[in-house]
Amino acid sequence: MHTDGTIALSAACLGLALAGVMSALRGTQDGLVRYYLTLVFGVFGGMVSTPLVFTFAFSMYGFYLPIVLVLLLILPPAVFYYVVAKTTELEPSTMRWRDLILPIAGSFVMFGYWLQPASAKTAMFIEGKLPAGYVLSTLVLATFVLIFCWLVSSCVYLVATLRRLRAYRTKLRTLYSNLDDRELRWLDWFVISLVTLWAVTAFTSVAENTGLDQAVFEELVYGLTACLLLFVMAFASIAPPETEAEAPEEPDETSEEKYARSALTEAHAQQLASRITSAMEKDALYLDPNLSLQKLSRHAGALPNQVSQTLNEQIGSTFFDYIARHRIEAAKPMIREGRASTLTVSLDVGFNSRSTFYKAFKRETGMTPKAFRDAAKDTLRLEY
């Protein structure tokens, strides 16, 4: 039996999942982004309905519970491919057959359970007993094997997701001078929350077999799920700012592989480096908060990949770090004077936020703006 609190939280989770499905379907993002987001919300909606089905549709419980196994196996690749679709401006890849092996295997087990008589399903799913027979024993063994495989695959997809996000953010630094609205940091918290939810769910299963108060942990699981769904609904609909920057290459391609195909000569690269330096020191392009690799390339009269190669090989910096360095140099005199606030200074030199300016300033100078100002005052006092 489930408590009233668990049932209420389950209903809230289902409502949020359905709202998420509707929001994803009506969204303005790319087709595959909407598809995978809809799939993620749909999987959650199916999985959180257990107390509701048990309480209000008990006759369907034996039919419903095997479906949860399939949904559980679909969730890791669904989350991963949502991240893939979200982090590429090229045509995102779809799921491969190898990603569907576990869900397909789970579907066979699901059909195997469906074919069993109602009395056998009641004994297994309600009473927790295993009726005699090699078919049922095989199904139970297959279920445990699939759950173990799910644990392994979840770890694999988790690592792949984190690697994908890291490669995506590395690529952003070669294209944009401000990353605040593009890094998709909320996906980090989504992954962390998902792992936390899985851990609490696993502990709930342990509590069921150790005599602990399972109701408390069930309510915690559904409460965390509701928060997670609300969090995803809030952030998934936020589209990154539109720019005219080139579409990024596949993020796992190395600079050596990319530049090996370039026709840029050493002499041309040196000339281009001079034009880039002039664009910064004379034309102060870094003051444009929306400066991108594409804009700098047009100003320098070269292709974006040539500018990127020149920055890496001749100047020894990524586009993001190069622009940030010039902005910090422009900010130093303003910080020394101390007439304007840190926020005003950060906006005046091209940053979009105070926090980004703080990080860049400390990375370039080794101290915060306040510490830099205080050090400048101390130097002046010593001179006098």
Could you read off the pLDDT of 218-237 as tens digits, one per residue? Answer: 888 889 899 999 999 888 87
Instruction: Report how far Cα 376 is from the mean position of its chain's Cα atoms.
Output: 41
Q: What are phi and psi of 176, to 5 degrees?
A: -130, 150
Cβ 14 vs Cβ 64: under 8 Å? no
Residue 268 three-state SS? helix
Q: Buried b / exposed e across 268-286, counting CB within 10 Å, b at 16+? A: ebeebbeebeebbeeeebb
| Predicted local confidence at residue 163, as pLDDT | 94
Query: Residue 175, SS3?
Result: coil
Closest alpha carbon to 122 in 59, 71, 215: 59
Taking a C-beta distance cutoff of 8 angstroms, is the pair 158, 275 a contact?
A: no
Mean pLDDT over all residues of the chain? Answer: 86
In sequence order, which residues have a C-beta less than 8 Å from that of residue 216 and are 6 or more positions away?
none
CA-based nearest residue to 293, from 165, 164, 171: 171
**Res 31: pLDDT:** 82
Residue 211: which residues within 8 A CB-CB, separation 6 or more? none
pLDDT above 60: residue 89: yes
| Dist CA 331 CA 347 (whole Å) | 10
For the chain, give the percent of residues with pLDDT over 90: 51
Q: How far apart are CA 152 and CA 170, in angstroms?
A: 27
pLDDT above 50: residue 280: yes
Q: Residue 310 in contact with residue 273, Cβ under 8 Å?
A: yes
Judge whether residue 296 has pLDDT over 90: yes
**CA dist 260 → 23, 66, 88, 306 (Å):** 44, 52, 23, 12
- Confidence label for 245 from pLDDT (cuts 50, 70 and 90): very low
Q: Which residue has the higher pLDDT, 157 or 120?
A: 157
Mean per-residue pLDDT, 92-102: 85
Residue 46 and residue 70 in contact, taking contact as beta carbons nearer than 8 Å: no
Contact 114, 66 (CB under 8 A): yes
The pLDDT confidence band at residue 212, using thresholds 50, 70 and 90, is low
User: What digits encode the pLDDT tens for the residues 6-36?
Assistant: 999 999 999 999 999 999 988 777 788 899 9
Write down all domains in the chain, each with its CATH number in brackets. 4-236 (1.20.1070), 260-383 (1.10.10.60)
